[in-house]
Structure formats: structure tokens, C-alpha cells
Chain A
Amino acid sequence: MSDRKRVTGPEKSVAPLLETGSVPAFIFNPDRRHDGRDVNHLRPVFMKSGVVRQANGSAYLEAGKLKVACAVYGPRQNQRTKISATKGSLGCDFKFSPFSGGRRRSYMKDEQEREYSLVLEQALSPAVRLDLIPKSTVDIFVQVLESDGSAACLAAAITCASLALADAGIEMLDAVAACSAGYFESTVCLDPTGEEEAHEGGSLVLSYMPSLNEVTHVIQSGETSTATTVKALELCVDACSQIHAVMQQSLIANV
């Protein structure tokens, strides 16, 4: 299906395959991850708010190679059909840039992007005081510039979006911090990179409000035992508190 609203190349193109044996097989070793981290260490994260001047609020997050930008417009007029007189609405839009991953992404939204947009909304709406902005909408746009682990990307998007909301001055109960974990047999590994993710047996993304000690959203995929899940949840909660601290520092620095 050709996109007539963009400059198109040949009808069909594919990413080239790697020469057999050109990449060494990836062996996951919990004691020695590829980037030297421990299983319960996050990638060092860098956050900056106020990067998009046109927007009411914006933020940029970098974690290792992962790069995510988010802009918040609102509260502004709600142009949708369902307008509530008692509370506002949150419009979330998640997009991978075409060059952000190993395979080129098309400009049209695929299922993963639609799913992540929904998750963003579910993770952030419990925290935002929508009752203070009736009949209005807050639009959140997340653009992933470089992806390194899709679950980590989603977590980074949630964190970035909540930083942007804070930058926009939208009232919230607390800033939402999110982090991801991967299951490797019975080992839980925090913040898996793209390479590691390809070999995991399952993943978990947790969105958490540290000041209130409340989880706004949790999504797990894959098969795992209850004990492992509980362990992962605890690890993620601790990690989220660390991320929250970095978020606060970044907001203070921008005041």
C-alpha cells in the first residue's frame, strides 16, 4: 500500500540480512551483562525538560542509547466528540521515528504504537488531576528517536511524558516514574537493552508514583512464576524511586 502523501521509493524494499556468522551469538550472563551492569542496575539516565519551546511542556530523556522526546500541549480545547463537563481528557500519541530501530518503521501507526499510546494513557491518567480541567484536553506526543529495547522504550516514554506534564504545569498527584524488567529463566534483569530483550522469556513494565507508594499501571508479558513476578515488582519499585529522584532534580534545575 503506497502512501500517496509522502515521497515514495520502490514498491517493496527489505532490510539486508547479516552474513551468517558475522555476529557472535549472544549469550546472556546475569553476572556480566554486555554493558557491564548488574542485573538490578538501570542504565544511567539523562533528563532535560523545556526542550520544545513551542509546546506548553516538554522533556527529553536519554538512557544509554535510548532517546525519547515528549511534548505536551494543553490544557486546550477538546475537539473530540465526547466532552465531559466534569473532567478533562488525556490524548496520548506514541510514535517511533522511522530510523529509531533496527528495521525502518513506516510513518503509518502500527499495532505496537497504538498499544503503547493506550498504555501511556492508562499509566498517566491516574496521576493527572483531570477534574481540574473540565471540557479540556491535554495532548501528549511522544517521539522515540532511538530505541534500545521496546519495553525500556515504553517505560522511558512514560517517564518522559510525566516530566513533560510537570514542565507544562499540569497539576498531578505525583510524577509517574516507570521502568522495565526482563525475565531470563528465574533471573530478573532490570532495564534490558534491545539485545538482551531478544533473548528474554517475558517482560514487565511498571509505572509507579513513589510519593504515594501507588502503582498506576503494570503490564507483563510472557510466562513466569508468581515468585519471579513479585521479585520483579519489588526491583522495579526501587528502581522507579531512583528515577523519580532524577526527575525531581531535573525539574528543579529548570526552574
Chain B
Amino acid sequence: MAPAAAAAAPTPAGNGTSVSAMAVDGDVAAAASQGFSLDPDTFQKIHPAEFHRRFLSQGVRADGRPLQKFRKAKISLGPVSTANGSAMVRLGDTTIICGVKAEVAEPKPAAPRSGFIVPNLDLPPLCSPNYRPGPPSELAQTVSEYMDQVIKSCDLVNPETLCIEPGHAVWVLYVDIVCLNHGGNVVDAAMIALAAALKHTRLPQATYYETESTVRVTDTFTIPLSVKRTLVPVTFGVFDAAVVIADPTAEEEAHLSTTLTYVLDAENGEAAYGVLKSGGSAVPRDMLVACWDDARKRAVDVVAALAEAEQAGNRRPDVAAV
């Protein structure tokens, strides 16, 4: 009998390696030896975890990437002219667009010179069949909250630079991140978009008129927002508690035993602004350190992509305040 090949894997795109007849085991082997075989798409639908396991045992992933390879981040700045700052990030299929709108509010009495940054991630039903119209999903809420905590604790933007008139008026930057296509690893794409959009944000010159208690702006002169740091998020997934894969896709995410997200500093890869590992299988100390080292290399690539985007975007016209 011909050697059993239960799932002839599709040729992965963009990598050159072709994974054909794979080692089979278990009862699938028994079925296979009787001449029963499944095409890859069907196999992925009925045994999704096993489908990915087969690839990983050969050192590749279902989309052809080696285990530690990240998808290239394609960033474009300023796609939305109605926003004070905007960025679009594409990470493989995952597409995220981030817009920053600046409004004016009264500061808190305890911090009369401090402005606000309000990040929010929206996963609309457009981006994936898993989301329905209605209140935000748990993933959206928890990622928004984590981004808020990281921004506040790492002092990304000095809140005092957002002051218009101490005690009366400060800027509130609403950073709204909308996912257009959920192809996995929304956290990374969202934070890269947030970092890029904030760097791209320009605020109009504002004056506070005490007599009318209003703030008026001129759209002729805009000042770039002073962002002190560049955050670079790097996410890894762990499969079966042992195999670490970088930048999981949506198909892989459903079967991971845990995910690990680092938020590193772009200038100085030594410094980090956050680590998030929410439950799941345990990750040993060595793995945490090794992943951090891999994350550092990825941070360099993301920074290069951001710089490239800034170069390309230097020709765009100034953004109006209204």
C-alpha cells in the first residue's frame, strides 16, 4: 500500500518550502491506511488543533511562516483627514485604523494642568464573524483597559503638554482604534496603530477666552503632539504549552494554550512598558527571557516600518482642527 498521507498540506505561500506527506499517528493513521484521506480545508474544519500541530511538528506554520517569524507591519500615516492624527496598520490580513480626535474639557481639580488620553479598541461585526452588533466584546474591553494602563503608567505623553488654560481647559485626545479585518494578533496591530497615530497627531493652536468660557482654535497653525516614547507591542502564542510561535493568526489563536504580549520601548529595547500574560498554560522563566530577546529584534523592524511610514507621509497637508 502506498504510505499513508492523511492530510496533504497545501503549499504554504511565500516561503518556498512545500510540506507534503506528513507523519501520521493515532487512529487517523488507522483510518488513513484504509485509504481514507481528507483535503486540507476539511481537515482544518474538523480537526483544527491537529491541523496546526501537524505543521508545527515540521517547524512551520499553516501560513508558511517559520515559528519565530512575524508578519511585516505595513503602516500608513494620515489616511483620515477629519482626524487630528490617524494611522492604518496592516499585519498580514489584520487591518486596523486608528484616529485621534481632540476635544476640550475641564481638567480634574486635583490635576489642573493635566489633559487626558482616552484609548478605545472597537471590534465591529464587520471584522470577524465572531462579533455581533452590540456592546463591546470582552477582548475589546480588556485590550482597551490594558492600553489605558500602559499609556498612563509609562507616561507616553506628558499630560501637562495637553494643557490649554490651567484649571479651565485641557485637551482630551480620544484615540479610537477600529479593526477592519481580524486576521489575528489584534493587540499588536492596535498598539502599533495607536503609537503611529499619536506620533502623527497635530493639535491646533488654542486660546482660552475667559469672558465667554470657550476655547477657540485656528487651523492655520498646528503643533505636533510631543510623544515621549514609542511603544512597540510584540505578541507570542504558545501552542500545547511548549511551542512558541510569533504573531499568531486568527486560525492559530483559537487553539493556543496561552498568549504573551510584551510592550517594549523602541529607542531602548532594554526597557519595557508592559508584559501581559492572562492565564492559560505556565510559561517558564527561560521562555519569558528568550521571548523578550526575540521581541527586541522585532521592535527594530517595527521602528523601521514606522520610520518608513513617516518618510512617505511627509508630503501630506496639515490637518485642520474642525
Judged by a CB distance under 8 angstroms, whether A231 is at the interface is no
Instruction: Check if B322 sits within 8 Å of A102, measured CB to CB.
Output: yes
Instruction: Check if B105 sits within 8 Å of A6, measured CB to CB.
Output: no
Instruction: Check if B217 sits within 8 Å of A54, measured CB to CB.
Output: no
Task: Knowing A16-B215, A16-B217, A17-B215 are in contact, say whether A139-B125 is a contact too (CB < 8 A).
Answer: yes
The interface-forming segment of A18-26, A119-127, A239-247 is A18-26
Instruction: Check if A55 sits within 8 Å of B104, measured CB to CB.
Output: no
B219 CB contacts on chain A under 8 angstroms: 18, 22-23
Shortest Cβ distance from B151 into chain A, in angstroms? Answer: 10
Judged by a CB distance under 8 angstroms, whether A95 is at the interface is yes
Judged by a CB distance under 8 angstroms, whether B180 is at the interface is yes
Instruction: Check if A9 sits within 8 Å of B105, measured CB to CB.
Output: yes
Instruction: Check if B103 sits within 8 Å of A141, measured CB to CB.
Output: no
Instruction: Check if A6 sits within 8 Å of B220, measured CB to CB.
Output: no
Instruction: Check if A99 sits within 8 Å of B101, measured CB to CB.
Output: yes
**Looking at the complex, which one of A15, A54, A146 makes contact with B129 (CB distance below 8 Å)?**
A54
Shortest Cβ distance from B15 into chain A, in angstroms? Answer: 19
**Looking at the complex, which one of B86, B124, B217 makes contact with A18 (CB distance below 8 Å)?**
B217
Instruction: Check if A51 sits within 8 Å of B181, measured CB to CB.
Output: yes
Judged by a CB distance under 8 angstroms, whether B312 is at the interface is no
30 contacts between A and B (CB under 8 A): A5-B136, A7-B120, A8-B118, A9-B172, A10-B107, A16-B217, A17-B216, A17-B217, A18-B322, A19-B216, A19-B218, A22-B218, A51-B95, A53-B183, A54-B128, A54-B181, A65-B81, A67-B79, A97-B176, A98-B122, A98-B174, A99-B80, A99-B99, A99-B174, A101-B82, A141-B124, A143-B126, A145-B79, A145-B178, A147-B82
Docked pose: A145 CA to B177 CA in angstroms: 11
B214 CB contacts on chain A under 8 angstroms: 16-17
**Looking at the complex, which one of B144, B180, B321, B322 makes contact with A52 (CB distance below 8 Å)?**
B180
Instruction: Check if B174 sits within 8 Å of A54, measured CB to CB.
Output: no
Docked pose: A36 CA to B217 CA in angstroms: 28
* Cβ proximity bits A83-124 to B, threshold 8 Å, 1 near / 0 not: 000000000010101111110100100000000000000000
Chain A interface size, under 10 / 10 to 19 / 20 to 34 / 35 or more: 35 or more
**Chief secondary structure at chain A's binding surface:** loop
Judged by a CB distance under 8 angstroms, whether B64 is at the interface is no
Shortest Cβ distance from B225 into chain A, in angstroms? Answer: 15
Judged by a CB distance under 8 angstroms, whether A128 is at the interface is no
10 A-B pairs with the lowest CB-CB distances in the bound complex, closest first: A99-B99, A13-B105, A9-B118, A99-B83, A141-B126, A98-B176, A13-B103, A10-B105, A104-B101, A71-B126
Docked pose: A76 CA to B219 CA in angstroms: 48
Judged by a CB distance under 8 angstroms, whether B50 is at the interface is no
Judged by a CB distance under 8 angstroms, whether B41 is at the interface is no
Judged by a CB distance under 8 angstroms, whether B53 is at the interface is no
- A21: nearest chain-B partner, CB-CB: B218
* Cβ proximity bits B235-274 to A, threshold 8 Å, 1 near / 0 not: 0000000000000001000000000000000000000000
The residues in B between 204 and 226 inclusive whose CB is less than 8 angstroms from any CB of A are: 204, 206-207, 214-220
Instruction: Check if A18 sits within 8 Å of B218, measured CB to CB.
Output: yes
Judged by a CB distance under 8 angstroms, whether B127 is at the interface is yes
A170 CB contacts on chain B under 8 angstroms: none
B182 CB contacts on chain A under 8 angstroms: 54
Instruction: Check if A6 sits within 8 Å of B141, measured CB to CB.
Output: yes
- B133: nearest chain-A partner, CB-CB: A93
Docked pose: A51 CA to B95 CA in angstroms: 9
Judged by a CB distance under 8 angstroms, whether B51 is at the interface is no
Docked pose: A22 CA to B135 CA in angstroms: 40
- B131: nearest chain-A partner, CB-CB: A141
Instruction: Check if A146 sits within 8 Å of B116, measured CB to CB.
Output: no
Docked pose: A2 CA to B308 CA in angstroms: 39
Shortest Cβ distance from A11 into chain B, in angstroms? Answer: 8
The residues in B between 109 and 134 inclusive whose CB is less than 8 angstroms from any CB of A are: 116, 118-120, 122, 124-129, 133
Judged by a CB distance under 8 angstroms, whether B108 is at the interface is yes
Shortest Cβ distance from A106 into chain B, in angstroms? Answer: 10
Docked pose: A49 CA to B208 CA in angstroms: 47
**Looking at the complex, which one of A14, A95, A100, A143 makes contact with B105 (CB distance below 8 Å)?**
A14
Instruction: Check if B174 sits within 8 Å of A10, measured CB to CB.
Output: no
Judged by a CB distance under 8 angstroms, whether A69 is at the interface is yes
Judged by a CB distance under 8 angstroms, whether B148 is at the interface is yes
B7 CB contacts on chain A under 8 angstroms: none
The residues in B between 145 and 183 inclusive whose CB is less than 8 angstroms from any CB of A are: 145, 147-148, 172, 174, 176, 178, 180-183
